[in-house]
Structure formats: structure tokens, C-alpha cells
Amino acid sequence: MVRYILQRLLLLIPTLLGVLTIVFFMTALSPGDPARIMLGERANEQQLEQLREELGLNRPVGEQYLIYLEHSLRLDFGRSIKTRRPVMEEIQELFPATVELALVAMFLATFLGILVGVLSAVRKNTLLDYTAMVGALAGVSMPVFWLGLVLIMIFSVGLGWFPTGGRMEVRLFFQPITRFFILDGIILWFREGNPAYLISAARHIVLPAIALATIPLAIIARTTRSSMLETMRQDYVKTARAAGIPERRVIFRYALKNALLPVITVVGIQFGLLLAGAILTETIFAWPGIGRWIYSAISARDYPAIQAGVIVVSTVFVFINMIVDILYSVINPKIRLQ
Amino acid sequence: MKRIFSFMLLMVLASALVFAGGKQEEPAAPAAAPVAQPVSDGPQAGGVLVFARSGDSVGLDPGRETDGESFYGSTQIFDTLVEFAPGTTEVQPALAETWDVSADGLEFTFHLRHGVMFHDGTPFNAAAVKFSFDRQFVETHPYFELGPWQYWGYMDMSSIIDRIEVVDDYTVKFYLQKVEAPFLANLAMDFASIVSPTAVEQYGIEFKNHPVGTGPFKFVSWTKDDSIVFEANKDYWGEGPYLDRLIIRVIPDATARYLALKNGEVDVIDFPSAEDLELMAADPNIDLIQQAGLNVGYIAMNNDKPPFDKKLVRQAMNYAIDRQAIIDAVYGSAGQVAMNPLPPTMWSYNNKITPYPFDPDMARQLLAQAGLPDGFSTDLWAMPVARPYNPNARRIAEIVQANLADIGVTAEIVSYDWGTYLDKVDAGEHMMGMLGWTGDNGDPDNFLFVLLSEAAADAGGNIAFWRNAQFNDLIVQAKETFDQPTRTRLYEQSQVIFHEEAPWVPLAHSVVTVPVRTSVQDFVIYPTGKRVFQRVWLEQ
């Protein structure tokens, strides 16, 4: 087992190197002088030269690449052009918001997705099954941007249940403690006996989490359903039934456990993709996280920020995939043995 | 299964808690006015105003930053020696009550307001003024290293100011290197804000996160990418502030901003999307405050390249292009037709000029007079990106192309990525090129000299490469005169020459719209792009 994990960790090195290389050439080879693009109408030659010097743009591409690799290994992605702050500092500040949103969304998607998938499989070809699967198809096809606005129209503007965006009611003048606002809310509830912060944080996260969870939820539901259907046809399920074990126990104890294998893969992949979905969700819901930060970095052609953002997101993606692979081998010993 | 059901029950209970909590979360406005006053009695004190904009500030030290979002924050905290009168580009006293100019125009003496305190208790005086400026250009100044002081560079201040001298506690003297009338307007800009020397010494580079000024609002806190909180400076020397607190929030998506405004979560929003404007206009809870922006979008005709060296051809282009159609198709209610290089909110804007009407027949006639009865071929450069003065250059180029085809002129649309585009138009590779400008200091010089002077034809900026001695003399003279009526007259004359010589086809000025809740009173748009809340109050 340890050897397997070590093997997987070793494989990370070429993967991440590949990511670093692609990200570098994506920005280095895009057309136009980045300094000129960033400074716009006002630029004079002296300012351009200064910025080129600062970004190392006046060196040959090969040299730029080596310097960049060296800095990346030290997790030093330089300063953002726009804010002039170290890029890693900004990422550290904003990442918790995205993690909080992604965790809630992923919890929603996994929990509801598996539930819907199992129910559809068990009640195959009933109205419930059809409704769920049509819903899932709609969920996969809906653009997050549009869905977000529709959710705001209905639940914020129409019904007034939830705020349109942000992480916390600004008029509460909240000061973050851990940057995980729900956690902060719980801490403040205990410390000050005032649940207002927790309630506000919870109300703010509902709509963005739903918007972000929709696509993974639909995919997880569909995967669970088909995997469940396949497992239910297996001999051991028939045997269990024949032995008189109650149906509920057969489904949840015996069938679901095996059916979950492909679902775990999908959950892992979706969790990684969630970070991409977060770009749109965070923009619509004014959620101050890493997704929105990357979005504005791209609009401003803030190359150091784009590079660091893409690298961080891909690294998280690669790590989640690795964890899924390891989990897989824990659940299914066959994989370890191969 | 049982476990799942109990879990779901838990979820339901949790969400019930969330909903039930809704009422408790209603904002409690701290210290509202004790007695509600009738509206006609003028401003009411109290309340919290939330202003939603599209992006966060970079930093709150106005000397270091260059972006509008940063100035939105710092403007609330800091004052300048002189300021723009609300809604205009005219300069009026602020921290300086009066000033004298020496006969040769090279010495400015400012007499400062007495009894003003910075938010940290430091007294405001001549030393603070000298400190605020010196740190931006005196290389031996202990805080010069905190730069780069980019706006100082943009406004070329180092070649205007020679040195600053403290005469006594309340008198400060600026020695200039050259006579430069727009200098005074530069002092009303954000980068020229007066900062607390004590706070800069205390915080160093972190001053941008702990700004201390003399302005109507004090800085309270900043949650990155989310919100900045300010509270009223109760000891403010000027009018207001009437609000107890001001919150500037980030909501990146324009439609989401509108929905937050509609929902009453915010009171004022920035940059509404054109598609939402109609809905907002129909909403009884929303007022739209509009003003032409301090910008101009134009097509420059390269005078170095025939046939645009001929005045008749340039005039023909002005007759041939249907500017109203461009406004209707591209700007909608967010634009107005331009006839001058200056925006209409700028002092000295010449409104006696008769704009060229859309008249293709006249255009053909002029071409024939110029010896081109069969038209000619040209290129037409269009920016690849949306700019504040031109939301969609490609679309405009297509309309212009069709207009020109009508008079026998074949125009080929050319575009490059943004950086290359700017380089190539500065080098004069185009025949007809679109570009535009957003003003900095509200001085006409900031448009006419930067975009149309002979100096700018050599150094970049004048992409029409138009060199007109008469025009150039007028704007150089205006730059070196302090007398406002004289300057106004000179600039008005220069616009007449511009109109006759037609180096550009001026296209449009984009209109700035700020939607506010109807409870928001006395909000005024400043042409220079500042968002000022000093005199704003909430009807309760």
C-alpha cells in the first residue's frame, strides 16, 4: 500500500512539470507585447521598458522559462501586475472562500446525487426515475451563468429568501477570523452568543452552492443509477435476496457499496472541475474566491496571476485525482495487486 | 436508511434555522437620526449606504495607485489642496483656502485652512503638504522608495514642479520649472491627496491598507475582493458627511449588481449593463443619474498619408459617416454624438460649433472637388477590445465601412491584438484608425495637447499626425496663461480650427449612468470619474 502511494506521488512530478510548462508557453507565446497590453493608451517607452524588465520579458524565451521553473519550485510566482502584491499572498487570502463553497457544493452534489441515483435505479422506469433523469439531463446542460441569474431572480428578488451575493451581510461589519465564514460564524456564536453571523454566512452560501452543485449532482446521479443497475443484476445480489435479506439492506449494504466504485471516480473528477465552475459561480454571486480572482486576472492580462492561478487549480486537481486513485485501491484490493 | 432520514431531518431543521434567521439579519442602522425630519428640510443625517462596484481597489494610498477602483476608496478618506466643484471640471478651494501666483507664473503660494486634523489626530499643516508631494518625486525622501508613483509620472509632474517650500505652518510655496496652467487642476486629482505623515511613518508600505487622511470618511476595514467599510468623520471641516457609514462592495457581474440594487441590498451601483437600463428606468425604486463621461471616441485620419493630407477629403469623411446610427447601434442610451474633441462637461467646450450633418451627397461632392470623383481605397483600424469610450470598435467599423462604400470609398477593416494595435497606430501605420481618450484632470489641455498638438504628433498620442501651426499656437498659449476667461477663449477658438480642418471624425462620448435607490439623495456624478459621498444622504 505504502509503495503504491509512493508510486503515485512520484508520478505527480512529471504531471506537474507538464502543467508548469504548458502554462508558461500559453502565456509566453500569446501574441502581442504584454507590457503594452497592460499599460494601454497611456504607456510611454520608459514605463514599457521598466515593466518588461520587471517581468523579465526582455530576456530570451528559453531563459525566461528556466527562471520561471526555478521560481515556481520555490512557490514564488512573483507579483501581480495589477495589485503589485505577491501572487501567493493573494491566493492564500482568497482560497478559503473557494474551498468553503466547493466543499458545501460537493457535499450537496454527492449526497443528493447518490440518493437520487439509487432511488432511480431501484424504481427503474417509474415516473420518479424519468423525472430524476430528465432533471439530471437538464442539470448537465444548463450554463452555470444562466442558472445563477435564474436562482437570484427566483429566490432573492422574487421570494426574498436569500441574498443576491457576497459571503456575509456587509451591514453586520463582520471581521473574519479563519476566513472560513461558516466556521467563523460558529466560533462567534459560541464566543458572543450571537448566531447572526452563522445565519448570514449560511444564507449567503445556499444559492452559489446550488448553482455550483447542479452539474456534478446531475452527473453523479446518472453514474450512480447506471452503476447501481449493473450491480443489481449481479449474482451475489440475487443470492442475498434469495437468502431472505431485507431489500433495503440488500440495496444499501451490499449493492451500493460495490456500485460506488465508479461513482468515487466521478466525484473526484467533478470536485476538480468544480474549481473551474467556481470561476462563473463566484463572478455571478460576488463570492470573493480564487475563481473570480482568476477571471479578473485573465481580463486584465495579469500574467503572473494567471500562471499562479492555473497552476494552483491544476495542482489541486491532480492531487484530488491522486487521492481518488488511492481511495479506489483501498476500496478495491484488486487494483493494488495489479 | 434510517440514518439517511435522520440526516435529512437535520438538514431541514438547519435550513429552517437559516430562514427563520432572516429577520434578525435585517441591518440595524447605527445611531439613526433621533427625529425623522420632513424631506424639504434638507439633508437628513444617519444611515448606512452601500455602493456596489465591479472590482476591488488595489490599494488605498492614492499616490501609488492608477486605477479608478482604488480612487473610489481613497477619495472618501483624503482631501486635496483644491477640488473639483461637484459635477463640473472647475477647480475650487479645498484644503487650500486661497492661492497667489507670481507674475512670471512660476511660483504658487497656497494659504492653508486652519484647524484641520487628520483622522489619527495629526494636525494638517504645510509640512504635511510638502511631505505628501515630496515622497512622490524627491529621491532622497525617506518614503520615496514606497513608490512607484505612477500617476505622478503620467501627469509629468517631475517636469512641472521644481521644489516645494514650507513658508510657515499654514503657507506652502510650489516652485515650478515652467508655466503650466493645467498644474492647478492636477492638484485636484487623487494622486495629489494630502496624507498623514505620522501614519505613513507608522505603517510604511502598509499605509495602502491603513490610509489616514483628512477626508469626510475614516477608513474602518477592508475585506479583500469583498468590501471596504468607512465611517463618518464627525470633525470634517467641510459640508457633511451625512451618512454614518459607507460600505463599498464588489459585485463583479453587472446584472447581479442590478438585482442586488433592485432587492435593496445595495443603494448605489456602478457600470450598469446596457441591457438592464430599460428595466431600471421602469423601476419606481430606482433613479438613473446620467452624465456624459469625460471621454471621446474618434476615428483619426492619418494626415501623413494621402489622400488624408487634403482637408476636403477629411471633411468628406465627416459628412459620410452616420454618427447617430453608430450611437443607436452600439452605444444605445450610453452614448452621445461627439462634434468636438472635448467632452461636453468640460469647461471651454465650444457649443457654438455646428456639427457636420450626415450628408452622403455633400461627401461625394467634396471628394469630386478634391479630385477623387471615383473614391479611393483605405484601411480602417478597429480596436480588438472594448474601451470606456468605445464599447465595440469592430461593430462601428462595419457601419463606417458601409457608409464609406456609399460614397465610393472602399475601406478594409484591420485589427491586431491590443498591444500591437497601440504600437502600430502610434507608429502611424494606419490610414484611418479608431482610438479614444479618457480625461485625467478635467483640463482641456489634457485632451487637446495630448491628442492633437504637434509635440504629440512626434512623441505619440496624436495619431492623426495633424500638424496645424495656428491650432498649436492657441493650445500652447492656453497652457501658459492662468487667466481662466483667456484660456476659455483660446480653447474655444482652437475647436473652431479643429472643426474646419477635421483631422478626426469624432464619434461619441460615452454617457456614465449611476443607478441609485430613490432613497439616495444629492448624489452627483463627477466628470473626472470620482464617486463622492460627502454630501449624499439617505431619506429615512
Interval B340-371: pLDDT, tens: 999 998 999 999 999 999 999 999 999 999 99
pLDDT in the model for residue A330? 76
Indicate yes or no: CB of B1 within 8 angstroms of CB of A248: yes
**Percentage of the residues of chain B whose pLDDT score is greater than 90:** 66
Same domain, A48 and A129: no
Q: Is A130 on the interface with B (CB under 8 A)?
A: no
Size of interface A-B (CB pairs under 8 A): 145
Residue A315 within a domain:
no
Of B24, B27, B226, Cβ closest to residue A288: B226
Name which residue leads in pLDDT, A299 or B526: B526
Q: Is residue B96 scored above 60 in pLDDT?
A: yes
The pLDDT of residue A335: 65
* Structural domains in chain A (count): 2
Same domain, A172 and A28: no
**Residue A325 reports pLDDT greater than 90:** no
With contact defined as beta carbons under 8 Å apart, do B338 and B508 qualify? yes
Residues with Cβ < 8 Å from A309, sequence gap 6 or more?
A: A91, A290, A293, A294, A297
Residue A1 has pLDDT above 60, yes or no: yes
The answer, yes or no, to whether residue B210 has pLDDT greater than 90, is yes
Q: Domain for residue A335, yes or no? A: no
B460 φψ region: left (φ > 0), alpha (ψ -120 to 50), beta (else): left
pLDDT at A337 over 70: no
Mean pLDDT of B444-448: 93
Average pLDDT for residues A119-123, to the nearest whole number?
86
Q: How far is CA A156 from the centre of its chain?
A: 24
Instruction: Note whether A37 contacts B418, CB cutoff 8 Å.
Output: yes
- The reply to whether A127 and A175 lie within a common domain is yes
Q: pLDDT tier at B109 (50, 70, 90 boundaries)? A: very high
Name the residue of chain A whose CA is nearest to B19's CA.
Answer: A161
Q: How far is B16 from chain A (nearest CA, A)?
A: 11
Based on the fold, state whether residues A117 and A10 are members of the same structural domain.
no
Residues in chain B within 8 Å Cβ distance of A288:
223-226, 250
Q: What is the pLDDT of residues B242-263, one digit of tens each?
A: 999 999 999 988 889 999 999 9
Q: B122-145, pLDDT tens digit by residue?
A: 999 999 999 999 999 999 999 998
Task: State the Cα angle at A50 between A47 and A52, rounded to 5°.
Answer: 110
Residue at A18 is within a domain: yes
How sure is the predictor about B9, in pLDDT bands with cuts at 50, 70 and 90?
Answer: very low
pLDDT bucket at A43, cuts 50 / 70 / 90: low
Same-domain status, A231 and A171: yes
Q: Which range marks the domain in which residue A39 is found?
A: 2-73
Question: For residue B2, what pLDDT band results from cuts at 50, 70 and 90?
Answer: very low
Res B242: pLDDT: 95
For residue A325, is it within any domain?
no
| A33 lies in the same domain as A118 | no
Same domain, A65 and A145: no
Chain B residue with the nearest C-alpha to that of A33 = B419
B434: left (phi over 0), alpha (psi -120 to 50) or beta: beta
CA dist A58 to A25, A33, A54, A61, B476, Å?
Answer: 16, 10, 9, 9, 37
Cβ neighbors of A135 (< 8 A, separation 6 or more) are: A218
CB atoms within 10 A of CB B118: 24
pTM of the model: 0.81
Of A243, A268, A288, which marks where a domain is finished? A288
Q: Would you call A107 an interface residue with chain B, using a CB distance cutoff of 8 Å? A: no
pLDDT at B24 over 70: no
Contacts of B400 (CB under 8 A, 6+ apart): B299, B321, B326, B380, B411
Is there a single domain that holds both residue A19 and residue A114?
A: no
pLDDT band at residue B32 under the 50/70/90 scheme: very low
pLDDT at B17 over 50: no
The closest CB to that of B1, out of A83, A164, A252, belongs to: A252
Q: Point out the residue among B25, B55, B225 whose CB comes nearest to the CB of A200.
A: B25
Grid cell listed for A190 = 459560541
Residues A41 and A163 in one domain: no
Answer yes or no: do A29 and A125 share one domain. Answer: no
Q: A258 CB near a chain B CB, below 8 Å?
A: no
When pLDDT is cut at 50, 70 and 90, the band that residue A76 belongs to is: confident
Quick one: A193 and A236 in the same domain?
A: yes
- Please indicate whether, in this complex, the C-beta atoms of A94 and B256 are within 8 angstroms of each other: no
B225·A203 Cβ contact <8 A: no
Is 90 exceeded by the pLDDT of residue B417?
A: no
Q: Is A293 an interface residue toward B (CB < 8 Å)?
A: yes
The better pLDDT of the pair A330, B327 is held by B327
CA B374/CA A25 separation, integer angstroms: 49
* A176 shares a domain with A57: no
CA A237 distance to own-chain centroid: 35
State the smallest CA–CA distance between residue A284 and chain B in angstroms: 5
Q: Is the pLDDT of residue B31 over 60?
A: no
Best to test chain B binding among A30, A119, A170 (most B CBs inside 10 Å): A170
Highest mean pLDDT among A31-40, A328-337, B22-31, B77-86: B77-86
Interface confidence, given as ipTM, is 0.78
- The answer to whether A287 touches A97, Cβ cutoff 8 Å, is yes
Task: Give the domain CATH number at A170.
Answer: 1.10.3720.10
